[in-house]
Each structure stands twice: as C-alpha cells, then as structure tokens.
Amino acid sequence: MAIASSALLFAGILFLFLGTWILVSERSARLRLDRLDAGAASDSEVGIFPKEQSLLVRLLAPFAGRPREAEGGRDDRKLRVRLLHAGYRSPGASVVFRGSRVILVLGLPLGFYLTPLHLIVRESLVLMTTVSLAGFAYILPSYLLDWRTKRRSQEIERHLPDALDLLAVCVEAGLGLIQALARVGQEIRRISPVLAEELELVNLATRAGRSNAEALRELTQRTNVREVSVLVTMLTQTERFGTSLADALRTHSDAMRTRRMQLAEERAAKASLRMLFPTAIILLALLVLIVGLASVQASKILNGP
C-alpha cells in the first residue's frame, strides 16, 4: 500500500513537471513568434534572448515563463529592483531567479521521491513532507536574495566613512566631485569592491551624458542604503549652494562614525538582556540535573543496601 501510494505521488509530480515544461515552452514560443511578427528579431538574436546572454539564462528561460512587465504587471519590476539592490544588473537576472525557483519547487520534491528518503518517513507524513519541501524551495531564492542585499548594504555602510575621508582629501587636492569619486573608487577597490563598483558606475553615468545630480540619484536607487541617500542629499545641496565640499564631507564622515559607535554601544547593551533567557534555561536544566542526582543518591542511602 505504501509503495503504491508513493508511486502514484511520484507519477503525479512527474506529470506536473512535464505539464509545467510544456506550458512555459509554449509561452516562450508564442513570445518569439510575436517578436518575429513585429520585426524585432534580427541577426543578433537567437530565440528570445540576445546572443550575449549566458548559457544559464538560456537553460532557465523555459522555466521562467513570460515576463509580467510586458503585460503591465508590477511583480517583474519589483523583482528587478530587488535584484538591483543585491548587485545583479544583468537583464537575464530575473529570468535566472524565476527559473531557478521553478526548478527548485519541482526538483526538490522529485529528488525526495527518487532517493530512499521517502521510505524513512512515515506514510502519513509523506504528503506533508512533500508540501513542506516545495514551500521551502519556493522561499529559499527570495531568502538568499535578501541575505545578499543585507550583506551588500552592510559592506557599503562599513567602508563609506573611509571613502569619505579619501574623497575629502581628493577634493582638497583640486579634483572635481566626479573625478574624486572615480579616484576613491580606484583606491578602495581592494577593501570594498562593492563600493568601488558603485562609484565607478557614477563616473560612467556622467561620461554617458547624465548630470551629477542624476548620477548620484541613480547611486541611491542602486544601493538602497540610508547613509548613501543622506550623502547624496548633502552633496547635491553643497553643489547647489556652493558651500565647502571638503568640510561637509568631513563633518558627514564624523557623524557616520559617531552613529556607528552609538549603534555598537546599543547592541552591546542589548546583548546582556538577550543572553538572560538562554542563561536562565541552562541554569534551570543544571539545577534539575543536580537535584535529580542528589535525590537518587539520597534515596539509595535512606533505603539502605
């Protein structure tokens, strides 16, 4: 009975996998035909994506489905913004994200049935385990994306005060704001590649014809870091009103270090309170163990040999 139910569940998952593959392949083919009818395809395109797209994007494209941005939806735009905050600027990043999520949702339960693990689990818990694995696979890419975004933001916040000190030195040496940002990006590339890359993108944006304000505003949108937003506002106001840029940079750098120190002191003050509950549980367990052993020994002594 257990083998028959497992076989039926395996067949159902397999048919679901094949149906999803056919569905997304049909959507991809329909999109390609629409592009060909509109005359958008050229010699530089193969299928839906350009030739410069990576092999991973081409493999995951059938699973990613049709982008919702073309249908006027907001989900794809929000996903692109999240990917941008995590440092993924490639046009195929959203395709990789959606395709990997579909493969994980289908592949993790399927792998559960292909391995002997499903024989270890009780028959009544097989379906629940399958649903749990599918839910975990659906959440995992989003969790990893948020983790990378948080780690990237922390790296920018950690090295931004040092970058501001170097920026103030470059400005005092006679460089302009954008040239100073490019120079600082070259100097801090070894200790913070993420911040150096963002500053280099600001320089490239100004070379492409954007104004300083627009390039700095795009820096805020890419990083989504509060300290960078405050810095961009300060730089914009300084450039507009003609005040001393070096003094403003040093003041802002000192304020960032002071705030970081205050946050560290706040976390240190909260650490003792957070350790109180696990410490109490450990002491309670030790007390129960000691009292239990003492009671056993006392009962042996009182009862005699």
> What's the confidence (pLDDT) of residue 78?
84
pLDDT digits (tens, 9 = 90+) for 44-95: 333 333 444 566 666 666 666 665 544 445 667 888 888 888 888 877 788 8
**Is residue 85 within 8 Å of 47, Cβ to Cβ?**
no
Is residue 140 over pLDDT 60?
A: yes
Closest CA to 138 of 114, 96, 94, 108: 108
**Rounded CA separation 29/47 (Å):** 8
Residue 9's pLDDT band (boundaries 50, 70, 90)? low
DSSP letter string over 56-119? Answer: HHHHHHHHH-S-GGGGT-SHHHHHHHHHHHTT---TTHHHHHHHHHHHHHHHHHHHHHHSTHHH
**Range of lowest pLDDT (5-14, 17-26, 27-36, 96-105):** 27-36
> What's the confidence (pLDDT) of residue 19?
57
Is residue 278 over pLDDT 60?
A: yes
The tokens of 165 are what?
């000190």
The CA distances from residue 14 to 11, 19, 98, 112, 189, in Å, are 5, 9, 20, 12, 48
Percent of the chain with pLDDT over 70: 71
Give me the mean pLDDT over the 205-211 stretch. Answer: 86
Percent of the chain with pLDDT over 90: 3
Give the three-state DSSP class for 15.
helix
pLDDT digits (tens, 9 = 90+) for 154-204: 888 888 888 888 888 888 888 888 888 888 888 888 888 888 888 888 888
Is residue 257 over pLDDT 60?
A: yes
Give the DSSP letter of residue 49. E
Give this prediction's pTM: 0.66
Give me the mean pLDDT over the 93-110 stretch. Answer: 82
Is residue 206 over pLDDT 70?
A: yes
The CA distances from residue 192 to 15, 27, 152, 159, 215, in Å, are 48, 42, 10, 7, 20
> What's the confidence (pLDDT) of residue 57?
67
14 or 258, greater pLDDT: 258
pLDDT digits (tens, 9 = 90+) for 293-303: 888 888 877 77
Is residue 5 over pLDDT 60?
A: no
Residue 147's pLDDT band (boundaries 50, 70, 90)? very high
* Domain map (residue ranges) of the chain: 2-120, 153-259
What rounded mean pLDDT belongs to the chain?
Answer: 75
Is residue 35 over pLDDT 50?
A: no
